[in-house]
């Protein structure tokens, strides 16, 4: 179902750039202003100048972050700071990282994927997108005709034949080896062996692809393709009909999904005895012992649906365990799939935030009453300090839940997944 291909990546020339770690960057959408400035100062050829250029008060239609990115790209290609790889390849990638002190290995590969409309069932999203980021990315693609970062996507292949073929066909030494700011090692091998590439293409022709991280960039690529070619379905070999992706096997245990927790403010919260009474209609409630960590309690809670809660009032943590999933069927009826109704984040947002606290979906979109925090310690501190009234903690969304919701043609609630580790931008680029 998915059509992938090798390509001649645009890579940093080691004769011009001796330290590849100095020219890569995290994904553009997690870089704060201070981080952008630091990357600018790190190296004059850092990919930040292409992916997330600075804005200035004097910017105009003819001189702005997008036109400057195009200028840097041309200048770096002309001076051979960036060079086309010698032959088409798939780029096997390893990321050695750790979660809570446990070392893990994420394996995947960078390739081109033929663009497909979502309705074909070949490329499946699981998140809604916002217009602002898509406009930004489209402006960049229009001026540069390039992909500077990979869309993080998944496929399912329990047999592991794809990765076995790539590992067997890789060149002896990594062409790129970079340690990021977290101390994680990123290694890239060129795989140009035609038999290995052909086998990977053949296997993935039978597989749908699930977008994990990069929905805005994928939709931007679709829009750019429509502008250039009129129809996503038309043509075949043109560069604009493809997009660069990092693909990982969702059946590989090296993949990690982290949760994003919710904190609430500017909403009238009932006194705690009243709130506990309201929650008790749907949840079994356990008051956690002093010193007992909410995250640990969630992880150890076992099967079922569990949510941690910390009120600013008294700072007493609770573990909420749903009594009966039938309440979610009552809320949604046949308007949502079983996979969607059974998500912990759906239970939190529809049952607790909406039904009990009165935070409607419309209010959620305002980003005023509910904020998202990835680090549970940060959520804990912010709530205990009184900055927020309540914090809710979640277990990670399971990979199979992402797959099932996407396969049902639905989108998950906002911030349901945080795929980890994040891919570096600048390892391999794609000039369309």
Domain ranges of the chain: 4-256+420-431, 260-395
Q: Which residues on neighbouring strands pair with residue 431, listed in sequence order?
A: 146
Beta-carbon contacts of residue 289 (< 8 Å; ≥ 6 apart): none
pLDDT at 138: 97
- Report how far apart, in Å, the C-alpha atoms of 294 and of each of 33, 205, 300 are: 32, 43, 10
211-230 residue pLDDT tens:
999 999 999 999 999 999 87
Q: Which residues on neighbouring strands pair with residue 307, listed in sequence order?
A: 320, 394
Question: Is the CATH number 3.40.50 carried by domain 260-395?
Answer: no
Which alpha helices (DSSP H) does 283-425 contain, by range? 294-299, 326-332, 338-341, 344-346, 361-365, 376-384, 399-407
In contact, 134 and 268? CB cutoff 8 Å: no
Residue 319 burial class via C-beta count within 10 angstroms: exposed 0-12, middle 13-18, buried 19 and up: buried
Mean pLDDT over residues 266-280, rounded? Answer: 95
Helix axes 161-169, 194-204, angle to 10 degrees: 170
Q: Residue 341: pLDDT above 70?
A: yes
**pLDDT band with cut points at 50, 70 and 90 for residue 291:** low
Q: Residue 313: pLDDT above 80?
A: no
Least confident interval from 116-130, 224-238, 380-394: 224-238
The C-alpha angle 7, 151, 409, rounded to 5 degrees, equals 120
In contact, 189 and 174? CB cutoff 8 Å: yes
* Residue 261, helix vs strand vs coil: strand
């Amino acid at each position: 179902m998915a059509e992938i291909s090798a390509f001649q990546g645009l890579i940093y020339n080691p004769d011009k750039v001796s330290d590849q770690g100095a020219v890569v960057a995290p994904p553009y959408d997690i870089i704060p202003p201070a981080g952008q400035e630091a990357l600018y100062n790190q190296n004059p050829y850092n990919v930040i100048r292409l992916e997330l250029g600075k804005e200035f008060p004097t910017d105009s239609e003819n001189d702005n972050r997008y036109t400057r990115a195009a200028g840097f790209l041309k200048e770096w290609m002309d001076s051979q700071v960036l060079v086309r790889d010698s032959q088409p390849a798939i780029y096997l990638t390893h990321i050695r990282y750790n979660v809570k002190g446990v070392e893990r290995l994420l394996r995947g590969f960078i390739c081109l994927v033929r663009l497909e409309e979502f309705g074909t069932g070949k490329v499946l999203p699981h998140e809604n997108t916002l217009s602002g980021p898509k406009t930004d990315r489209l402006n960049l693609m229009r001026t540069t005709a390039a992909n500077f970062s990979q869309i993080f996507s998944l496929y399912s292949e329990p047999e592991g034949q794809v990765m076995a073929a790539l590992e067997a066909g890789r060149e002896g030494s990594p062409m790129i080896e970079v340690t990021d700011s977290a101390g994680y090692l990123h290694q890239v091998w060129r795989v140009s062996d035609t038999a290995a590439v052909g086998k990977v293409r053949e296997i993935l022709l039978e597989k749908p692809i699930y977008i994990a991280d990069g929905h805005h960039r994928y939709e931007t690529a679709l829009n750019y393709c429509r502008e250039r070619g009129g129809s996503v379905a038309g043509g075949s070999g043109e560069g604009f009909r493809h997009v660069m992706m990092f693909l990982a096997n969702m059946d590989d245990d090296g993949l990690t999904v982290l949760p994003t927790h919710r904190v609430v403010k500017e909403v009238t919260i009932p006194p705690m005895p009243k709130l506990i009474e309201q929650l008790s209609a749907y949840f079994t409630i356990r008051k956690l012992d002093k010193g007992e960590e909410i995250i640990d309690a969630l992880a150890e809670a076992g099967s079922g649906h569990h949510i941690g809660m910390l009120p600013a009032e008294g700072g007493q943590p609770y573990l909420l365990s749903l009594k009966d999933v039938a309440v979610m069927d009552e809320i949604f009826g046949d308007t949502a799939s079983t996979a969607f109704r059974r998500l912990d984040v759906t239970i939190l947002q529809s049952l607790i935030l909406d039904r009990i606290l009165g935070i409607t979906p419309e209010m959620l979109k305002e980003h005023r009453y509910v904020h998202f925090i990835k680090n549970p310690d940060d959520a804990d501190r912010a709530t205990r300090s009184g900055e927020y009234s309540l914090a809710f903690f979640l277990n990670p969304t399971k990979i199979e839940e992402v797959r099932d919701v996407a396969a049902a043609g639905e989108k998950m609630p906002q911030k349901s997944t945080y795929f980890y580790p994040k891919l570096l931008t600048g390892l391999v680029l794609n000039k369309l």
